Chain A
Amino acid sequence: EIVMTQSPATLSVSPGERATLSCRASQSVSSDLAWYQQKPGQPPRLLMYGASSGASDLPPRFSGGGSGTEFTLTISSLQSEDIAVYYCQQYHDWPWTFGQGTKVEIK
């Protein structure tokens, strides 16, 4: 099983500042990586697939990068509506696995 590790567990960022979230895979997943945003009481929302392709209606302040075992999700200018837990997930091999999540909060 491919283990996905996210860091940090909690990220405190001031409004308008950059937030960088990291995700590491225990073995290469090529670019078969997705990012999801989950707000309290809501289902996850797909943000990115293919490591760097944005889902429909994604605000341009979100970007993704990386390949192999190291990935990042960047929010270029944090907005209050971005407060959520973010999960990475690999779909390179079965079983599909998620990271444990990074909680983004306002500093």
Chain B
Amino acid sequence: EVLLVESGGALVQPGGSLRLSCAASGFTFSKYNMNWVRQVPGKGLEWVSYISAGGDTLHYAESVKGRFTVSRDNAKNSLYLEMNSLRDEDTALYYCAKVPSNTSGFKIYYYGMDVWGRGTTVTVSS
């Protein structure tokens, strides 16, 4: 069974730091790009960050750029999100999601996000 399990969410004060983890199983983790997506309870979805299969290409939402860092350890089948200088507006449920793709020449073809974890809750509050 293909599974993603997030962990590390917690209550943290504004300005604090947190590290989220996403454990993958049931597929060859090292072959897939990964995303972090967040959702404020009762609100919509917001893409946060992307990391390529090899970890050499990173993308961030403007709202987290310079504060969040995505990384992965393919030997441990794990994805991470290092979150610094946390703000009230970072409060959300954080999902990791698998991002399948194919490369033809210099172009990457994506196919949406086909597997999602159940999320881990981050609350930023004093």
Looking at B19-27, B66-74, B110-118, the stretch in contact with chain A turns out to be B110-118
For A50, the chain B residues whose CB sits under 8 A away are 111
Closest chain A residue to B63 by CB distance? A95
Whether, in the assembled complex, A34 has its beta carbon less than 8 Å from a beta carbon of chain B, the answer is yes
- The CA-CA distance from A34 to B47 in the complex, in Å, is 13
Whether, in the assembled complex, B44 has its beta carbon less than 8 Å from a beta carbon of chain A, the answer is yes
Q: Which residues of chain B have a CB within 8 Å of any CB of chain A? A: 35, 37, 44-47, 50, 59-62, 95, 110-114, 116-119
List 11 interface pairs A-B (beta carbons < 8 Å), by A numbering. Answer: A34-B111, A42-B118, A43-B116, A49-B111, A87-B45, A89-B45, A94-B50, A95-B47, A96-B35, A98-B44, A101-B44
For A61, the chain B residues whose CB sits under 8 A away are none
Within 8 A of B (CB), among A2-60: 32, 34, 36, 38, 42-46, 48-50, 53, 55
Contact A46 B46 (CB under 8 A): no
Q: Nearest Cβ distance between residue A4 and chain B, in whole angstroms?
A: 10
Contact A43 B112 (CB under 8 A): no
Contact A98 B62 (CB under 8 A): no
What 3 A-B pairs come out closest when comparing CB atoms?
Answer: A34-B112, A49-B112, A43-B116
Closest chain B residue to A42 by CB distance? B118
